[in-house]
Each structure stands twice: as C-alpha cells, then as structure tokens.
Amino acid sequence: MASIDAPLLMIIDDEFGVRESLKIVFSKDFRLLEADSMEAALPKVTEAKPSVILLDMLMPRTDGLVVLQKIKELHDACELHDACEVIMLTGVNSQQLADKARDFGASDFVGKPFDVVDLRQKVARAFERIAQRTATPTPSN
C-alpha cells in the first residue's frame, strides 16, 4: 500500500474487474481513488484533485469523451489544468478514437487489454510532465 504522501491516481471504469486489476498494478506506488461512472467520478475529482486519471473510453451510461470534457471543465474552472493528466483506456483500438481523445485533452491512450509495463510507463511519464509544468523556477544568481 502506498504512503500517505504518494501521488493520487484515479481510476474511472465501469468494469469492476478492470478497476481491481489497475488497483493491483498501482497500489504500491500511488494512493488510489476509483469510480464506476461519471456521476460518481466528478465529485471525487473536484474534492480530491487527482494528478493522473485513468478513464475508460466506453462506459454504458456516458461516453468517456464526455467525462473527459467535464473533468477538463472542472480543472479549468479550478485553475488545475497544469496539475492533471487523463489517460484514456479502451477496448477499441482505433487511431481515429485516439486522435479524438487527444483533441478533447487526453494526454495518452491505452488499449485494453493493457500491457502492464506500457501502462506503468505512460502513468510515470504523465506524473513527470505534471512535475515539469508545476515546478517552481529557481532564481538565477
């Protein structure tokens, strides 16, 4: 289990098995927050302000792109857009879908079933990009 100081990673996926798999993959390195729908996710995003979100592209009641757009609106309203990255997860591996997700503000795109090593690398890169954007500049001598 990750320490209380570990970065916060959120998993939004309607499939319980996927959420459980992702929790196993990331629980040692990150604090985890999960939701199974947009309705469950948005209040948690607002309150907890996760740094990286893994978001399912296709959910029964709401398209993942709609959820992504709502998350981006919340973050823009709270001036948190530099401190959050969203990685889309989908069982439909399509370049057109990946491009559309990036157009909506996703930082990356991962197909299901996901390769654990690849997914961990993409999450690590997302946290690195956030750290670079939010780093306090050091004064020059």
If you classify domain 8-134 with CATH, what class do you get?
A: alpha beta
pLDDT of residue 141: 52
Residues in the chain, total = 141
Return the structure tokens found at 72: 């981006």
* pLDDT, tens digit, 9 for 90 and up, residues 17-65: 999 999 999 999 999 999 999 999 999 998 888 989 999 998 888 888 8
- Domain parsing of the chain, residue ranges: 8-134
Does the pTM of the predicted model rise above 0.75?
A: yes
> Residue 96: how many CA atoms within 13 Å on its side-chain side?
1
